[in-house]
Amino acid sequence: MRDPYSLAVITASVRADRIGPRVTRWFLRHLDRHTDAVVDHLDLAELDLPGDLAGGGDAERFTKRVEQADAFVVVTPEYNHGYPGPLKTAIDTPYEQWRAKPLGFVSYGGASGGLRAVEQLRTVFAELHVPTMRTGVLIPNVHDAFDDDGELRDPAPVEAALAEMVRQLNWWALILAAARADRPYDC
């Protein structure tokens, strides 16, 4: 078993006025209390992933980084009861590189905290053979949730969810990395 494992954290929003980087920075600041994973941050706004999935741009580099990761966390907003289109392009750019690697969600939005986007993403990742963590980190009413220093105004429930999600992710990441090393996943 490899320890620590490689964790790719993907910031999904690409909008100019996005709050996603603030949410990701908060998550990354609190992550190291719960894991010693080596983190690779992938901000989709900084990548050129062609929507036609024909390759080019940063597609090969992104695919390689997905391949090198043992686990993932997607930081995603909920837009119109769904997840951002560029995230679907990012998901569809690699293929088998996602398989048999666990994934957790940090979502944000209005009253639902991004829950509807996460539920849709669970079905997409299931098709790619990616186990998703039962516990997710949901930040409702995100524009009011953070203070001027980038910390949550009411951190207790969100930090408890973060601790539980990362605990689950740690277990799955280590078990599946060992399993993939012992017997490649070819289902």
DSSP 139-165: ESSHHHHB-TTS-BSSHHHHHHHHHHH
State pLDDT tens for residues 116-153. Answer: 999 999 999 999 999 999 999 999 999 999 999 999 99
pLDDT score of 187 more than 90: no
pLDDT score of 45 more than 90: yes
Q: What percent of the chain has pLDDT over 70?
A: 98
Residue count (the chain) = 187
pLDDT at position 19 is: 97
Mean pLDDT of the chain, nearest integer? 96
pLDDT at position 133 is: 98
What's the rounded mean pLDDT across residues 168-172? 98
pLDDT at position 57 is: 96
pLDDT at position 1 is: 43
User: Looking at this protein, which amino acid is placed at residue 145?
Assistant: A
Task: Walk across the sheet containing 103-108 and list its strands.
Answer: 38-43, 6-11, 71-77, 103-108, 137-139
6-182: which CATH number, 3.40.50.360, 3.30.465.10, 3.40.190.170, 3.40.50.2000? 3.40.50.360
User: Looking at this protein, which amino acid is placed at residue 65?
Assistant: R
pLDDT at position 2 is: 54
Question: How many other C-beta atoms can be found within 10 angstroms of the C-beta atom of residue 83?
Answer: 26
State pLDDT tens for residues 64-74. Answer: 999 999 999 99
Domain residue limits, the chain = 6-182
What's the rounded mean pLDDT across residues 35-46? 97
What's the rounded mean pLDDT across residues 155-163? 97
